Chains A and B, each alone.
Chain A
Amino acid sequence: MTVQELPGAGASHRSTPPAWRPRTDAAPLLPDPEPYRVLGTEAADGLDPELMRRCYAELVRGRRYNAQATALTKQGRLAVYPSTVGQEACEIAAALVLEDQDWLFPSYRDTLAAVARGLDPVQALTLLRGDWHTGYDPREHRIAPLSTPLATQLPHAVGLAHAARLRGDDVVALAMVGDGGTSEGDFHEALNFAAVWQAPVVFLVQNNGFAISVPLAKQTAAPTLAHKAVGYGMPGRLVDGNDIAAMHEVLSEAVRRARSGGGPTLIEAVTYRMEAHTNADDATRYRGDAEVEAWKAHDPIDLLERELTARGIIDEAAIRSARDEAETMAAALREGMNADPVVDPMDLFAHVYAEQTDRLREQAAMLRAELEAEDQA
């Protein structure tokens, strides 16, 4: 008997067996066709003046932090610094939307978000100064170590949020990644796990145009990065990453949704890396001035300052006060970074295992003897 001769053959061959059905309606998950904006639109009528004054002060502080950190690389006080000039609205909004018990999972570029969450800038920059890999206790600040391997921090955020939910704790994890990171396997796996587990996670992709030198066009053929959410069964949001009011609103909604058991959200913030990948990179090799100039006209601080000034929410005095405050922070950062960090070579062996192995004890003794011999010489 052939398949065609089986009973019922021909009757149902035009449709898939009834056990199959779409798992989710895709339409409500789709992002807006254009990046969502508040500043310069009617939606700005509803701005919270108090919150916007805070955002403004934080943006100015963030820009100054970026400038100071880059200056420190030139003075040899930082080994390397990946700048977020132009991306401050994303960094600041990510920090501001979280509650104290929530967790932030930054990439190596996101020290500003950690600082805006309250971390001491010197501790945030320890990795980039090079005296240790992480300069703070992640549990104390609910900030995961800065992740250098791309997108690998995203599954951590999912696992942590899942664990908190299993324990009945009110904790949301916000994980940050760049456009290049969305090509990594861990990005895919993290989003898939988060959606399957309905974990309280918010994924924030800062699409700053480049993965070092590689533009987004060579990174993905997706309509937008936010569209990737649909494939996992979670909503994708597309937002103007230089509009801090829009960023704050969209992130807050996603955090609220996660907190109330609604599951994860993927947010693509469209922004631009105004400076090179790091101080060690030369951006003139892969992009032109015209593009940079166009984004300069869409600067996150200018956008907010224009809106708030026009609406009388900030005045000259507030602008000056924000700048003064930023200078104070920069001076403290300079002072903190100009002090030579104390490094102890014996620390190399102290934290590899809970209990030092015989082998590490032997190697530590060898290094100690070498150091003592040096001291005597």
Chain B
Amino acid sequence: MTTVAAKSAKSGVKPSTMAQALTRAMRDAMAEDPTVHVMGEDVGTLGGVFRITDGLAKEFGEDRCTDTPLAEAGILGAAVGMAMYGLRPVVEMQFDAFAYPAFEQLISHVAKMRNRTRGAMPLPITIRVPYGGGIGGVEHHCDSSEAYYVATPGLTVVTPATVEDAYGLLRASIASDDPVVFLEPKRLYWSKADWRPEAPTPVPGIGKALVRRAGTSATLITYGPSLPVCLEAAEAARQEGWELEVVDLRSLVPFDENTVVESVRRTGRAVVVHEAGGFGGPGAEIAARVTERCFHHLEAPVLRVTGFDIPYPPPMLEKHHLPGVDRILDAVARLQWEN
């Protein structure tokens, strides 16, 4: 990922940030489909606190990109009604922890409406949630809230880790007839790649994991903000003589079990890495499923490197909490190499 800028200079293409790719995804979706409406707090005139909706109100008008009152349940509840009428709302929740007031709407209505009505009234709503830490944010700005969403049947839960996926997966989410919680790793907003908005690189759709780095010694299973950390760890691991495979889940629900299982059966060892706490986090389910399906191929128990089971720390302490390269390498070292 760090070599992208150098490559771009050579190819003459200006690198794009993940933030720009996300903006472009909404812009293109709005241009193609008049039923796509963006709404949320500060998304209009300001372009969002992270500027992800920059320029949309100007290009499409405030009826298509709307500054709402400051009330998340109201925003999502109104989006439900808009979707009932045939619109395709894209809702921005300003921060991970600010999405909690909308939980009743999300869990009792958004996730259940298709099932409740036997398929008669699906809700094509995309809920964008900037999530995760590593940006020095104060309390309530850095939660990894994915476990709440993946535990709610009816929701699709997607999280990009690359610029290409930011565009491709957001387009796929907006096009989905099911509600999608689109988790944006906010510390990757400013990550860059050689990516051309006028010719976006096609990417596999929702529900497909990708092997980001091939390896033979062990598999790191990760997603979102932890992907660059895992790639860095894999690079560092070469000095120890380990060739680590890195799988980027991209979508937590549906979970691409087959890609993960195939990789672990090949390598025989696995570590799941995410920022969310370990107890009841997505890694718990992934580790359990890998164990069930790869038991006879495993050389060691499946380990997890996750955030601690604590409230998110204040900025001056977050470096101790977040899974880092060293902690990942320590886990890899514990995968029973001697035997």
Residues of chain A having any CB pair with chain B under 8 Å: 132-134, 137-140, 144-145, 149, 152, 154-164, 166-167, 171, 173, 185-186, 188-190, 192-193, 196, 347, 350-354, 357-359
Contact = CB atoms under 8 A, between A and B. Distances in A.
B114 A166 contact: no
A354 B117 CA distance: 13
B226 interface: no
Grouping DSSP codes into helix (H, G, I), strand (E, B) and loop, the B interface class, with mixed when no group exceeds half, is: mixed
A162 B108 CA distance: 22
Contacts of A359: 254-255, 257
Nearest to A173: B81
A155 B120 contact: no
Given A139-B120, A145-B116, A357-B254, A193 B78 contact: yes
Interface residues of B, number: 48
B114 A192 contact: no
B84 A186 contact: no
Interface in B70-115: 71, 73-74, 76-87, 89, 101, 104-105, 108-109, 112-115
A354 B114 contact: yes
Contact of B115 (A139, A192, A351): A351
A158 B118 contact: no
Nearest to B113: A145
A8 B245 CA distance: 70
A188 B71 CA distance: 10
B161 interface: no
B154 A353 contact: yes
A155 B80 contact: yes
B120 A159 contact: no
Contacts of B178: 353-354
B80 A353 contact: no
Contacts of A154: 77
Nearest to B34: A167
A156 B81 contact: yes
B78 A158 contact: yes
A155 B255 contact: no
B73 A160 contact: no
Contacts of A152: 77, 104-105, 108-109
A140 B76 CA distance: 24
Contact of A352 (B81, B121, B154): B154
A354 B89 CA distance: 18
B119 A350 contact: yes
Nearest to B78: A159
B116 A196 contact: no
Contacts of B113: 145
Contacts of B207: 357
B95 to A, nearest CB: 18
Contact of A186 (B69, B104, B120, B121): B104
A187 B189 CA distance: 35
A159 B82 contact: yes
A354 B115 contact: no
Given A353-B154, A353-B156, A358-B254, A193 B116 contact: no
B109 to A, nearest CB: 6
Given A138-B121, A145-B113, A357-B255, 14 more contacts: A137-B117, A144-B84, A156-B80, A156-B84, A159-B77, A159-B78, A159-B81, A160-B81, A162-B78, A163-B82, A173-B81, A186-B74, A193-B69, A193-B74
Given A137-B120, A156-B109, A359-B255, A189 B80 contact: no
A154 B177 CA distance: 23
Contacts of A350: 118-119
B71 A192 contact: yes
Contacts of A188: 71
Contacts of B82: 159-160, 162-163
B63 interface: yes
B153 interface: yes
A133 B115 contact: yes
A371 B49 CA distance: 53
Contacts of A352: 114-115, 153-154
Contacts of A159: 77-85, 89
23 contacts: A132-B118, A137-B120, A137-B121, A138-B117, A149-B104, A152-B109, A156-B84, A158-B77, A158-B81, A161-B81, A162-B78, A167-B85, A189-B77, A192-B71, A193-B69, A193-B78, A351-B115, A352-B115, A352-B154, A353-B154, A354-B176, A357-B207, A357-B253
B68 interface: yes
B122 interface: yes
Contacts of A185: 73, 101
A119 to B, nearest CB: 14
A280 B323 CA distance: 52
* A-B pairs, 6 with minimum CB distance: A159-B81, A155-B77, A189-B74, A159-B78, A160-B81, A163-B85
